[in-house]
A and B are shown apart, each in its own frame.
Chain A
């Protein structure tokens, strides 16, 4: 009898933690994308990691953003001043250079990266 009462308690207790609650604040405005390459390795973004991108957040200086630059999507650190630039975060590899956003480039921020899902095995 006691066990019955207890099991009722079980079913009424809070649900199991859901990772979505932690990582997805705005479900309607959140998209997942997958990173490729190692240009953002210093930010903890490795190749094949899944990025949680929130479009409802307005990007600020220093945010890591997914942006559409000249019709291709890229993940970089956004610098707003003095000029708008997209900064790679990989000190070890000098191949990755900051990209200036000038008047002619087609540029818009797709969304702000809020979480990185990285598999370690």
Chain B
């Protein structure tokens, strides 16, 4: 039994916590970058009221600019509140969220800065079937188990809300995929069910969907079109529709073998998970596609997580689960009997192999990446076998989708990180901040031209220039992170990280 916990609109909720007066107003969090003389606006979060005004994730820079202008100038009763991202605040609350979850729940697997899976196996063993004879001990067990599950989720939701002031959504199911769907159903429920006015408080089911009852879960699954399941892209969607599969229920009832033949192993895995059975598929592809949480948690700074999450929502995909090919290869690279170069080379080969996989995915989904990260897990001989995780990432001012430059970059990052006489366990590669290829068509064209040139140079063994070019890229990416020159745009105070910016109370 798994639970999927998600904190909807985390950025907005963070802003509301210390500035509750904004709750009734449309609020957007965005950043803007001045790029080649023109201003690019990127929306990071918007409140439900802002959504009513037409804001939504994934809007192009121009559209956003127009919307902002439109709603800032008019004399509306509810003026649009704009703010710059307060990453310190978001990171702090996200950290608090995870430490609270760890205190309250048995086993926490973070997925992103605002969502996590909880393994509830130890909480209570619950069976999925409801075909047990009534009155039998198992049936009674099931009933108490259900009650326990309900109590646990209510308690969890209430505690997080009281402790942090954040609302969370919880989905519970026999598998992670089911739990995730449960969570999405809960979100849908929250958005479409008004707060019960007679109590003045939220009803106790709000934000929680438990898919243990098979009839109920079938009705929930039937409402889910396949396009809303994470890990299913447009191509797979088409394949599934030719098989007559349009919603999650149909996918769960389809023969998983048939699915496996027609689509990827990942979809087969999803189908099995939807049926409530834990997938036993151990094929390499699934393992590679599976997100390894432990690693990600250690490698990802929380502000990054929030950033990544937003970028992903742009396309409605989830980076961690399926897109970023977060491969983990166990390597026993003992230093004994090997030269430094051979270890470095063998590790590098793994990086390239993972990259090829990830890149294939990237092309398949017509995406480009803005950030590359390499993670190395090592044991320090001097620190009694303690495990350390190194990670390095480069963010690119210009997104890249062609393989050559990414490969070179990866090699550079890796060579920078590699240390001799170190025992490496595992190595990981993430392509982060993915974006849709088409959205940046124009600038990409220029980039493609340059890349071609660069590759040409490479062939003539003028790799020096290549490196120089990427140094430039790297520097530009630093500029991107630096504070923007847009004055007059408010960023909320660092309530949790600066003594002189604490909330004032009268």
Check if B504 sits within 8 Å of A26, measured CB to CB. no
**B244 in contact (CB, < 8 A):** no
| Among listed B95-103, B312-320, B442-450, interface-contacting one | B95-103
* A28-B504 contact in complex given A55-B163, A55-B165, C-beta closer than 8 Å: no
Q: Which of B145-180 contact A (CB under 8 A)?
A: 159, 162-165
* A36-B504 contact in complex given A28-B100, A31-B496, A71-B21, C-beta closer than 8 Å: yes
Q: A27, A28, A31, A58: which has the most chain B beta carbons within 10 Å? A: A28
Check if A75 sits within 8 Å of B100, measured CB to CB. no
- Classify the interface of chain B: helix, strand, loop or mixed: helix
Q: Which of A8-54 contact B (CB under 8 A)?
A: 26-29, 31-37, 39, 50-51
**B260 in contact (CB, < 8 A):** no
Which of the residues A29, A33, A55, A71 comes within 8 Å of B505, measured between beta carbons? A33
Check if B502 sits within 8 Å of A34, measured CB to CB. yes
For A32, the chain B residues whose CB sits under 8 A away are 496, 499, 502
**B140 in contact (CB, < 8 A):** no
Check if A73 sits within 8 Å of B504, measured CB to CB. yes
**A68 in contact (CB, < 8 A):** yes
User: What is the distance, in angstroms, from B285's C-beta to the closest C-beta of chain A?
Assistant: 38
Check if B496 sits within 8 Å of A73, measured CB to CB. no
* A29-B21 contact in complex given A39-B506, A56-B163, A72-B506, C-beta closer than 8 Å: no
For B100, the chain A residues whose CB sits under 8 A away are 28-29
Check if B505 sits within 8 Å of A51, measured CB to CB. yes
* A33-B504 contact in complex given A28-B103, A71-B20, A72-B21, C-beta closer than 8 Å: yes
A68-B495 Cα distance, complex, nearest whole Å: 16
Check if B502 sits within 8 Å of A33, measured CB to CB. yes
User: What is the distance, in angstroms, from B207's C-beta to the closest C-beta of chain A?
Assistant: 18
Chain A residue at minimum C-beta to C-beta distance from B20: A68
Q: Which of B97-129 contact A (CB under 8 A)?
A: 99-100, 103
User: What is the distance, in angstroms, from A109's C-beta to the closest C-beta of chain B?
Assistant: 10
A-B contacts, 23 of them at CB < 8 A, read A27-B99, A28-B164, A29-B100, A29-B162, A29-B163, A29-B164, A31-B495, A31-B496, A33-B503, A33-B504, A33-B505, A35-B504, A36-B505, A36-B506, A55-B162, A55-B163, A55-B165, A56-B159, A58-B162, A66-B505, A71-B21, A72-B21, A72-B506
A residues at B contact (CB < 8 Å): 26-29, 31-37, 39, 50-51, 55-56, 58, 66, 68, 71-75, 106, 110
